[in-house]
Structure 1
Amino acid sequence: MPRFARLFEAAADTLNAYYQAIAEGNIDALMAMWIDEEFASFIHAGGGHWHGVDDIRAGLVGLIDTKTLPTSIEPLDVRVYDSLGTVVYAVVEAHRAIDPLAAPSMVYTSYVLVHERGEWRIAHIHASPMPDETASQFAAKFRHGQGALH
């Protein structure tokens, strides 16, 4: 079992590298984490729906060019579902924009990572904006130390 524990920790490293590449606005680092297949897909919280790595790259470049890509993503609540070759992360995230004083956007994001050629790669991301009422309830629970799902 210890081997599998390290295996899934490596998947978390890929997710952390994704967050770091977002913070840097580094399109090459972002794209290096995707599976090299045309079935890769990304549903962006802003409404973009991209299929295949070329379409995903173009969508992300568009977000960088229009300065609508978050400057940081903070995972607030992470749920992990794993099997031998696939890991799914269900994450509540705070997306921060360029203005550091602006309130972050609260987003639900699911990441599907697959183990390919010895590395964990992103196969799918689905992000949805959190409704304002839910975001307020979520923030209140965190302020009171109850965590996300208590």
Structure 2
Amino acid sequence: MPRFARLFEAAAETLNAFYQALAEGNIDELMALWIDEDFASFIDSSGAHWHGIDSIRAGVAQLAAKGKLPTSVEPLDVRVYDSLGTAVYAVAEAHQLREPKASPRMVYATYVLVHERGTWRIAHIHASPMPAATANEFAAKVRHGQGALH
């Protein structure tokens, strides 16, 4: 059983490495976390939809050039669904943009990671902006220590 638990801790490490690469604006490090397949896909919270590694790299580079990559991503609520070769993370996140006084953007994100050749790789990300009313309610619950889903 400890080997099985360790397997999914490694999936979380991949997600944390993704957050770190975003914060650093390191596109090469970020792309190294993706599965090297044409079926990889990324739906950004702006609505952009990219298929394949080359398209994802170009899209992320374009966001970086426009200053639209977050300087930090804070996971506020995380739900994990896993099986032997797949881990799915459903996460409510606060994205702090590079603009110094901007309020964090609240985002729902789903990450699909697959276990490939002994390592966890990102196969799909779908991020959506959280509606303003939901974001305010979510933030109030988090501030009051109730957690996201109470």
- Give the TM-score band, short-chain normalised: over 0.9
* Aligned structure 1 segments of 4 or more residues deviating by more than 6 angstroms: none
Residue matched to 1:45: 45
Q: What TM-score does the superposition give when structure 2 sets the normalisation length?
A: 0.98
Whichever residue aligns with residue 103 of structure 1, its letter is: S
Partner of 2:133, secondary structure, is helix
Note the 1:75-90 alignment, pairs <5 A: 75-90=75-90
Inter-partner Cα distance in structure 2 for 1:39 and 1:52? 6
Residue matched to 1:138: 138
Inter-partner Cα distance in structure 2 for 1:25 and 1:54? 17
Note the 1:1-150 alignment, pairs <5 A: 1-150=1-150
Question: How much does 1:20 deviate?
Answer: 0.3
Farther off after superposition, 138-147 or 125-134: 138-147
Inter-partner Cα distance in structure 2 for 1:54 and 1:143? 40
User: Unaligned stretches of 5+ in structure 2?
Assistant: none
Q: What TM-score does the superposition give when structure 1 sets the normalisation length?
A: 0.98
Inter-partner Cα distance in structure 1 for 2:23 and 2:62? 16
Inter-partner Cα distance in structure 2 for 1:52 and 1:117? 19
Identity %: 75
User: Unaligned stretches of 5+ in structure 1?
Assistant: none
Inter-partner Cα distance in structure 1 for 2:143 and 2:106? 15
Inter-partner Cα distance in structure 2 for 1:46 and 1:100? 20
Aligned residue pairs, count: 150
What RMSD, in angstroms, separates the aligned Cα atoms of the two structures? 0.6
Whichever residue aligns with residue 39 of structure 2, its letter is: F
